[in-house]
Structures are given as C-alpha cells and as structure tokens.
Structure 1
Amino acid sequence: MGRKDGREKNVQKTARYLMLDEGRGLVFLSMFFYHAMWDLVYLFGVDAGWYRGTAGYVWQQSICWSFILLSGFCWPFGREKYRRGLLVFGAGALVTAVTCLFLPQDRVIFGVLTFLGTASLLTTFFHPLLLRMRAVPGFLTAVLLFVLTRNVNRGCLGFEGWRWIPLPDGWYRNLFSAFFGFPAKDFYSTDYFSLFPWLFLYLTGYFLHRCLTEGGCPDKKARLAGDRADRPVTERTDSCQPQTTAALPHFLKQGHVPALRWIGRHSLLCYLLHQPVLFLFLSAVYFLF
C-alpha cells in the first residue's frame, strides 16, 4: 500500500507543470513590489515621478497581461472548474466589500479577482462552443479582438495610444455597463478589470494552450478520446495539475525555485493577504522612522 501511495505521489509530482507555478509566483512578486510602490506614493506621499509616468504604467501592464494570459493558459488544468471560478469570484467580492466599507477612497470595484472568476466561469460554460473553433484561428481571433477593444474603457476602439473608432456615449451609463467595459464618467476603482477587453486576453491564453496541445486539431472526438486516455491517476484539482497530459513542452515541468513555486500554488491566498500585510508593515516603518 505504501509503495502504491508513493508511486501516485510521484505521478502527481511529475505531471505538474512546475514552471507555470513559478511563472505565476514571479508575476505575483512583481505585483507585490508594484503595490508596495503604490502604497508609498499614494498613501505615504513618497515622490516618485517615474512611477506615475510611462515606466510605472509599463510595469503595471506587464503584470496584468502576464497574469491574465497565464490564467487563461492554465484554465484546462484541474477539475471542478465551476467551483474554482466561483471561489475566485467570491474572493473578488470580498475585496470589494472590505475596501468599500473600510477604504472607500481606495475602493476596488470589478477588480482582477472578480474578472478572473467571471472569465473562468464563462470559459467553462462556453467551452463546448469554444471547442468547435480551431486552436490557431481561435488564438489569432482572440489577439485581434483584444487589440481592437483595448481602449473600450476610454470610449473608443483602438489599442493604447491609437484611438480608431469612438463609441456611443450612451453605452457608458452605470455599474452594469462598467462591468462589461463601459464605465460612466463618475466611476472609480483603484483596480478595474472589465470583461472587455480582458476576456479576449484570457482567451488568448486559453487558445495558446490548445495550440500547443492540439496542433490546431478541430476533431472534438479525437480530443475527447485523448482526454479519456490521458487522465491522471489521481483526482487532484491544483491549478497546474493537468486534467489531460497532452504534450505541453517538457521544460514546463522543470522547476528551479521552490519559493516561487509555493507562491504560485497559493497565489489566491497570497493575493488576499499581501495588501493588508504591506499596509501594516509600511505603516509601522513610517511611524517608527
């Protein structure tokens, strides 16, 4: 019995894509230091012009893009996808409730966790339809739609500095429209990720995973047959434990930094705790020194 348990643990260990955990951990650390700078600049009055300018914006966008793309890429892993999506969405609702009650001037409405939970639930619900699309055309379509809709929060179609087609002012009305990407002029949130354009970046990661595992194959029966044949022995639901063992590049299974891997595997908990910890630590330093 002990030998069998040991073999199953080895299967779990080798089947997991450790580098994806480490990538998530690395992005989290970048976000941690970005938020530390945000607290220093906006809560403690530290003068950092570079942070308010292009350098800070590029840093922030690198975190957003990486985390959302990686989340979409990891969607096929694990089971109980509805449960996972609801858990992340619930965590986002908790962040919104806490900030609105205790930090209304820095409130978070439709933050990244709310978005990631919504994107996961929508991808799960529409997965049978998404499977009808070839992986490579799906990937290219998602990229194109993300580029086209990147500026919808700003009132137009376009990408960053390029503003191509203005959108009707009537679309930007209330909280409901803000959820989809059309915030009213008086809408305010310190962390805002609307459904559009970010869903298309999430789906870019989803289709990228399929490009690597399917080669663009549209044959649903072949995919389902491969899914049944490749199911892992165990029933784990870790975010980077594959539900299928289709051939992602082997180097993704190689881990090098256990600390990053631990952070990546517990990224939701780390995210929920990092801002209170940062605020308490910086407050203590501020008052002591």
Structure 2
Amino acid sequence: MFEKKDLSRRVWLIDEVRGVFIILMVLYHLFYDLVYIFEVNIPAFHWRFTSYLQLLIAGLFVFISGVASRFSRSNLKRGAQCFAFGMVMTLATWLFLPSQIVLFGILHLLGVCMMLFPLMKPVLDRIPPLAGLIVCAVLFFLTYNTQSGYWGMRGWQMNLPVAWYSTNFLFPFGFPNAEFWSSDYFPLLPWILWYLGGTFAGVYIKNGQCPAWFYRPHSRLMAFLGRNTFIIYLLHQPVVYGVLYVIFAAMR
C-alpha cells in the first residue's frame, strides 16, 4: 500500500474490508479448533451453509488481495514475505500439531500469486479490465473441481489425467494424491483465477472510477487490522489454541 505521505490517496475500503474478513477468519478458526481439536459438539459447524460461508470469506479475501496488488510498490517482496509466513505455519503445525498440518494454505497461495503478478502484469495490462474480470470468473468456476479430478460444470465436464494425481509434488497446483492432507488448502487452481480477477477489478479502483465513499475512511480500526492481516493470520492460531488449551485445562 502507499507510504504515510500518500495516505490521502489510500483506498480505505480495501483495508477496511480486509480487516472485517480477517476477524471472520479468526472466528472461523476459533470454532474449527473447538470442533476438531477440543472435540466440542457444534452441529452448525458441519452445516453445508457453514462450509459455503467459509469459502465465501476466504474467496473474498483472496479477491481483495488481488485488488490490493495494484497498489503495492513491491508485490515480489510482499509475496516472498507472505510465502515465508506460510512456510512458518507449515513448520509450526508439522512440529506441534501434525494432525492439523498446513501444506499449502491461503498464505502460500497469496505469496505465490503476489510473486507471479509482476511477471504476468505486462500481459494482463493489455486485456480490458471488464473482459479480464469476466474471463477469470468463468474460468474459476470451470476449474473449481480440479481437486475432484475434472473441469466443467454439471452437465458438462472434462475428466483430468489420473497421472496428475499420482505424484507427491503437484498438490500446490490443485492435483493432490489420495494420501494428501492439509487442514488449510488453497491450491493455485482455481484460486489464482479469483486473485487475478481482483487485479482486474483493482484497475477501476486505482483509477478512481468507484464512488467517492470507496476512498474515504470509515473505520480506522478495521483499516489497521486490514493493513496487518498477514501478521494477524500468522499469530492468531497459536494465540487461539493457547487460550483454548488453558481454558479446557482449567475445566478438567
């Protein structure tokens, strides 16, 4: 985002929306830990609506991150940092909570997308933003079932080669084998398409083509949280787990 001297040009709504989404993610992981680690019976957590809500929250977070990439002065640096945070998450879960290991979660995804964006930007900039946004949305839905072995929608689908799912190293692209497990899994297909859709939407926002309220501050607290989402995402799970561990230990 912009440095302090450019705060007047900041698109506050981007930070504020990210702040809201990071709070929702923290709440989701709070209930996830209660259900899957501390074995608390919360039937609503298993509802189909809840899984859709989780995907919606994560998807919008990825989309907003794509929008924000249009304002970053160094997507490569930010991407490397984000991917490094993801690897810290992988190492921490592998060492301390192997049953909930994170092999390619949302931080890994965003890190790779941010690092790829500068390489793809010269080509993306030749595409009309609206056309790019529509194409990315269509391709996202067509590739949404990559993990299940096919592309397409109900009534039309193309089965993907079985060989793509028989290796141990193609899971970052959306081709996990039968033994693969990651408690947080956001592969490049289809999610990079949602990120790229955000970069096309970001063209309109950066050019000042959105309503004036887009660019005014509404909640400085949400904006602060939004500017520190990666740190919050990295630290919130150890904090949430630690607090719950102490509470449940005291209840024994």
TM-score normalised by length of structure 1 = 0.81
Q: Hey, what does 2:248 align to over in structure 1?
A: 286
Match of 1:37 in 2: 31
CA shift for structure 1 position 152: 0.3
Aligned pairs (5 A) from 1:236-251: 246-249=207-210, 250-251=212-213
Inter-partner Cα distance in structure 1 for 2:56 and 2:25: 9
Shift of 1:94: 1.1
Q: 1:254: which partner in 2?
A: 216
Query: Which moved further from structure 2: 257-266 or 273-282?
Result: 257-266
Is 1:196 the counterpart of 2:179? The answer is no
Structure 1 or 2, whichever has the larger Rg, is 1
CA offsets 1:40-75 (integer angstroms, 9 cap, x no match): 001111111221121220221121111001011111
Code of the aligned partner of 1:190: S
Aligned twin of 1:187: 180
Q: 2:17, 2:129 → 1: CA distance?
A: 23
Counterparts of 1:5-84 in structure 2, within 5 Å, are 12-84=6-78
Q: Tell me how far apart the structure 2 counterparts of residues 78 and 56 of structure 1 sit (CA, whole Å).
A: 33
**Residue 75 of structure 2 contacts residue 117 of structure 2 at CA under 8 Å; is this kept in 1?**
no
Question: Conserved in 2, the CA contact under 8 Å of 1:156 and 1:163?
Answer: no
8 Å Cα contact 1:152-1:158 kept in structure 2: no
Deviations 1:115-162 (A, max 9, x none): 101011111111111112221211111111101000101111135x77
Distance 2:24 2:155 in 1: 27
- Residue 102 of structure 1 corresponds to which residue in structure 2? 96
Q: Which residue of 2 aligns with 1:216?
A: none
Q: Secondary structure at the match of 1:175?
A: coil
- Counterpart secondary structure, 2:152: strand
2:225 aligns with: 263
Does residue 115 of structure 2 align to residue 118 of structure 1?
no
Residue 248 of structure 1 and its aligned partner are, at CA, apart by 4.1
Evaluate the alpha carbon distance shift between residue 26 and residue 163 of structure 1 in structure 2; reply closer, same or farther with a 3 A threshold.
farther
Kept after mapping to 1: 8 A contact 2:20/2:222 = yes
SS in 1 for 2:169: helix
CA contact (8 A) 1:32 1:274 kept: yes
TM-score (norm 2): 0.93
Secondary structure of the residue that 1:45 maps to in structure 2? Answer: coil
Poorly superposed stretches of 4+, deviation over 3 Å: none
Contact 1:35 1:275 in 2 (8 A): yes
Structure 2 unaligned residues grouped into runs of 5+: none
Indicate conservation of the 8 Å contact 2:83/2:107, yes or no: yes
Residue identity opposite 1:168 in structure 2: P
2:134 is equivalent to residue 173 of structure 1? no
Shift of 1:95: 0.9
CA distance in 1: counterparts of 2:148 and 2:73, whole angstroms: 37
SS at match of 2:191: helix
What is the distance in 1 between the residues matched to 2:168 and 2:180? 8
How far apart are residue 103 of structure 1 and its match?
1.4
Cα distance per residue 1:251-279 (max 9 Å; x no partner): 12222222211111111111111000100
Secondary structure in structure 1 of the residue aligned to 2:70? coil
Secondary structure in 2 matching 1:126: helix
Which residue of structure 2 lines up, in the alignment, with residue 233 of structure 1? none
Contact map agreement 1:151 1:163 (CA 8 A) in 2:
no
1:78 partner SS: coil
Deviation at 1:174, TM superposition (A): 2.4
Which amino acid is the alignment partner of residue 74 of structure 1?
Answer: A
Q: Aligned runs of 1:151-166 on 2, under 5 Å?
A: 151-158=145-152, 164-166=157-159
Task: State the distance in 2 between where 1:48 and 1:99 align.
Answer: 24
